Amino acid sequence: MAAPTILAHGTSDQIARHVPPILEGRVNWCQLFSEPGSGSDLAGLTTRAERDGDRYVVTGQKVWSSMAHESDWGMLLARTDFGVPKHAGISWFAIALDQPGVTIRPLREMTGASVFNEVFLDEVVCDAADLVGGAGNGWAVAQTTLFFERSGIGAGGGHAGFPVPGPKGGMLGRRAGDAARDPEPGGNLVLRYPDVADLARARGRTGDPIVRQSLARLYTWSRLGHWNAQRARAEGSNANPAVPNLAKLAQTRIVKHAATLAAEILGPAVGLAGDDAPEGGRYTDALVFSPASSIYGGTDEIQRNVVAERALGLPRDDQPGRGEPYGEVLARVRRD
């Protein structure tokens, strides 16, 4: 998500500094977009970045930041101007996480794992050379990040296995053969068609017509998701604006269907969790993680809003305070 964003909006210096380490797996990046008060209403974010000579000083809080605890850099959205309408005052920064003032606290999910985090930024310094796309242009830059996030998520229903590059994730220390066999150790939270088909074979259920029909549906949806993601990639910035949203919606359907089908095949054993549960508890983990699929990358409701407004031309969602300086909107909300 970071590399294609920087390739699209970055200067040649930013591309030279940031993209090769990503391609070589030497660093990991996380996405510092959502805030406690700004998830679906992402443009309402209030993390502040103030210019101070050749740097910015950033203060605020982010949340749900996947793998921030194993990341070296963050894709940060922060407000650089409170005196303009809310979408116009946002900027996109590459921010180094290993510095004073950054506190990363893992949040425990119902899988028992900690994939995402709270990230507190207290007068954290960001080099002005790491402002990507120009001050106040962050909303447009963020759309590129979201385009690649959503179309990537939709690729074959995958995502949310978390192979973490860089020094903190432990991947660099693995033998190449092990990494090829199991690219996402302990991170297979999302099931793919082959996982569920293997389970059906292992449990002798491939002759069951209901299981077969359900497997065929999963296969069909997965292929459609894959082709849709390929279409998004092939068309790039010329793609219909709804393509990544449809990809994201398709992946929700795939992730939930795969997890439910695996649970049906396992039967009551899916209630067992932990390493000594059937298949190391993998299918149980996938089942309890699956509700997240309609939330991360933007909720299903938001994807449908975008399709309705940008692709079908339906009337826009009500936007109170539209066009007003965002600082004044916030002051009014606090007063009221």
Asked if 223 contacts 204 with a C-beta cutoff of 8 angstroms, the reply is: no
CB closer to ligand FAD, 265 vs 307: 307
Which residues have a Cβ under 8 Å from the Cβ of 228 and sit 6 or more positions away? 151, 154, 243, 246, 247, 250
Among 292, 306, 307, 329, binds ligand FAD (CB under 6 A): 292
Scanning 32-40, 43-51, 221-229, 234-242 for contacts with ligand FAD by CB under 6 A, the matching segment is: 32-40
Which residue's C-beta sits nearest to ligand FAD?
39
**317 lines the binding site for ligand FAD (CB under 6 A):** yes
Sites for ligand FAD among residues 248-287 (CB under 6 A) = none
CB of 197 to ligand FAD, least distance (A): 25
Which residues have a Cβ under 8 Å from the Cβ of 30 and sit 6 or more positions away? 65, 66, 67, 68, 71, 73, 74, 75, 97
CB closer to ligand FAD, 154 vs 211: 154
DSSP secondary structure code for residue 318 in this structure:
P
CB closer to ligand FAD, 212 vs 316: 316
Q: Mind telling me the catalytic residues?
A: 149
Among 3, 217, 305, 310, binds ligand FAD (CB under 6 A): 305
Helices 209-235 and 193-202, packing angle to 10 deg: 160
Among 5, 28, 31, 252, binds ligand FAD (CB under 6 A): 31
CB of 304 to ligand FAD, least distance (A): 8
Give the CA distances from residue 320 to residues 99, 133, 316, 332, in Å, rounded to whole numbers and listed in that order. 38, 27, 12, 12
**314 lines the binding site for ligand FAD (CB under 6 A):** no
CB closer to ligand FAD, 150 vs 226: 150
Scanning 27-35, 219-227, 268-276, 319-327 for contacts with ligand FAD by CB under 6 A, the matching segment is: 27-35
CB of 91 to ligand FAD, least distance (A): 15
Beta carbons within 10 angstroms of residue 125's beta carbon: 14
Report the alpha-carbon distance of residue 147 to residue 228 in Å, rounded. 13
Among 73, 92, 116, 147, binds ligand FAD (CB under 6 A): 116
- Would the CA dihedral through 148, 150, 155, 160 be positive or negative? positive
**295 lines the binding site for ligand FAD (CB under 6 A):** yes
**296 lines the binding site for ligand FAD (CB under 6 A):** yes
Tokens of 262: 């695996």
Asked if 68 contacts 32 with a C-beta cutoff of 8 angstroms, the reply is: yes
CB of 114 to ligand FAD, least distance (A): 11
Q: Which helix (H) or strand (E) holds 122?
A: strand 117-127
CB closer to ligand FAD, 11 vs 305: 305
CB closer to ligand FAD, 158 vs 224: 158
Among 9, 22, 29, 33, binds ligand FAD (CB under 6 A): 33
**Residue entry with tokens 């690649």:** 148
Query: 190, 186, 181: which is closest to 156 by C-alpha?
Result: 190
Phi-psi region of 195 (alpha: psi -120 to 50; beta: other; left: phi over 0): alpha
Sites for ligand FAD among residues 43-72 (CB under 6 A) = 64-66
Q: For residues 235, 238, 241 and 246, what is the CA-based torsion angle, rounded to 10 degrees?
A: -10
- Residues within the interface to ligand FAD (CB under 6 A): 30-31, 33-34, 39-40, 64-66, 115-116, 292, 295-296, 298-299, 301-302, 305, 317
